[in-house]
Amino acid sequence: MPLRLDASAAEFESRFQSYLDIGRDDEERVDATVAHIIARVAAEGDAALIDYTRRFDRLSITAEGLRIGADEIEAAVRACPPDLLAAIDFAASRIEDFHRRQAPQGYSYEDGVGNRLGLRWTSVAAAGLYVPGGLAAYPSSVLMNAIPGKVAGVPRLVMVVPTPDGKLAPAVLAAAKRAGVDEIYRVGGAQAIAALAYGTQTIKPVDVIVGPGNAYVATAKRMVFGKVGIDSVAGPSEILVVSDALSNPDWIAIDLLSQAEHDPAARSVLITNDAEFAERVAGAVEQALVDLPRRDIAAASWRDHGAIITVPNFDAAIPIIDRIAPEHLELAVSDPHGLADKVRNAGAIFLGRHSPEAVGDYVAGPNHVLPTSGAARYASGLGVLDFMKRTTLIDCTPAGVAAIGPAALTLAGAEGLGAHARSVAVRLGKN
């Protein structure tokens, strides 16, 4: 059964903090294994990828077979039902529309003493996209990771995807084609992350790596950060639903399970101001689990990491929300906008009773790659800016450097940096 908490109870704080402190990530000690894989790929290149693919994905390939060719991609597109291709195109169009509005603008201005200062945005030269593979079809992950990069203007998008036993869902390749992915390689795991970061004889290195993966992939991304940029080190998925008693308990129950079915370590939380409604939702969850295709996964998640929290009013829910800092936050209340205005920490907020988290996963438009494990306190979802960098521009005139240079001389002297001071002094005619 999920944890039951009453925000008005004397023991709430200690029990709630214990709940937040429960580790949900895979506790398997993978650091040493991942470090070895990265070192080997960096040293051996394709040979290491081929060996790991044989061992972990049970697939024997050559260096030439690492890349998925145009013919295979076209065959995958033809294998997809027309309605699925239409849905991929529909989702891609909405994701593109939303992300184009994120594109930043540079600026340039004169500082009043003759110098021109500015800032410009440029994309990275190459980005790597990690996509879970096999028969688990996640075309939405392809679209969400690739389209912001294309909108940013990245000239080279490289996708890596494992193909265990040589199997790969056609929809994944169809989505990659629709999103404009330039290169696709049949390699996964920590070895794929290492290949993107360090390069091999076949795969040229990239500048940024994005996309979700298992504990080995997440650990590899953490280890190569610095060599390349990364979007985040993602943990298990999570949803927090705030609901009053006017909501349909069946709707709230299935929303909670929409994330629980991802992973036994996923976290689903209900906050409500009505104890009777909480019981109705709990019963609806049990009923929904009866015929859920991923019942075992969802049931384990709800049992081990689920929680139902009752609050005296929704103002009391705000500090709880901000401490959880959920990946997904649904506000199924009468005034969702007013409540949302008070929330500081959330990856994405779904407003009202007709905005289920699932639409955000596929077709709403905003990105579904969001901060997890409390990272919404300081991080944002994947977007165009994750594929871009800003460069400042400084264009000094003789009069301009004369106006600002003396203060630079003073500061350089205070810091004991003689060459700094002299490089300004020579331009001011001082020796």
**pLDDT value for 214:** 86
- Are residues 72 and 138 both part of a single domain? yes
Say if 23 falls within a structural domain: no
- Are residues 337 and 257 both part of a single domain? yes
- Are residues 64 and 211 both part of a single domain? yes
- Are residues 165 and 271 both part of a single domain? no
Q: What is the rounded distance in angstroms from the CA atom of residue 28 to the CA atom of residue 216?
A: 9
| Terminal Cα-to-Cα distance of the chain (whole angstroms) | 78
- Are residues 105 and 208 both part of a single domain? yes
Q: What is the mean pLDDT of each run of 10 residues along the chain (431 residues)?
A: 92 94 68 95 97 95 96 97 98 98 96 97 98 80 97 98 93 97 97 98 98 90 96 91 98 97 94 98 97 95 96 97 97 98 98 97 96 94 97 97 97 97 94 68
Strands 126-130 and 3-6 come out as: unpaired
- Are residues 313 and 204 both part of a single domain? no
Say if 118 falls within a structural domain: no
- Are residues 44 and 137 both part of a single domain? yes
User: Which structure tokens are listed for 382?
Assistant: 């994947």
**Residue 43: which residues within 8 A CB-CB, separation 6 or more?**
none
CATH number for the domain including 266?
Answer: 3.40.50.1980
User: Which structure tokens are listed for 212?
Assistant: 């979700």
- Helix, strand, coil percent values for the chain (each to nearest 5): 50, 15, 35
Please tell me whether residue 26 adopts helix, strand or coil conformation: coil
Reference 327, options 270, 292, 371; nearest CA is 371
Q: For 69-99, what is each residue's pLDDT tens digit? A: 999 999 999 999 999 999 999 999 999 999 9
Instruction: State pTM to two decimals.
Output: 0.93
Residue with tokens 């290195």: 205
CB 42 within 8 A of CB 34: no
Annotation says 44 is catalytic: no
**pLDDT value for 27:** 53
- Are residues 284 and 244 both part of a single domain? yes
Q: Which domain holds residue 422?
A: 396-428
Say if 119 falls within a structural domain: no
- Are residues 176 and 279 both part of a single domain? no
- Are residues 412 and 296 both part of a single domain? no
Average per-residue pLDDT in the chain? 95
**Residue 144: which residues within 8 A CB-CB, separation 6 or more?**
95, 367, 368, 369, 382
The active-site residue out of 99, 262, 305, 328 is 328
CB 19 within 8 A of CB 5: yes
A 10 A CB-CB count for 137 gives 19
Number of independent structural domains in the chain = 3
Say if 339 falls within a structural domain: yes
Q: What is the rounded distance in angstroms from the CA atom of residue 161 to the CA atom of residue 136?
A: 11
- Are residues 69 and 179 both part of a single domain? yes
**pLDDT value for 379:** 94
Say if 7 falls within a structural domain: no
Annotation says 328 is catalytic: yes
Exposed, middle or buried by CB within 10 Å (0-12, 13-18, 19+), for 272? buried
Reference 384, options 175, 148, 34; nearest CA is 148
Q: What is the rounded distance in angstroms from the CA atom of residue 166 to the CA atom of residue 185?
A: 12
**pLDDT value for 135:** 56
Angle between helices 189-198 and 215-224 (to 10 degrees): 20
CB 181 within 8 A of CB 159: yes
**pLDDT value for 132:** 86
The active-site residue out of 238, 261, 327, 357 is 327
Beta bridge partners of 157: 127
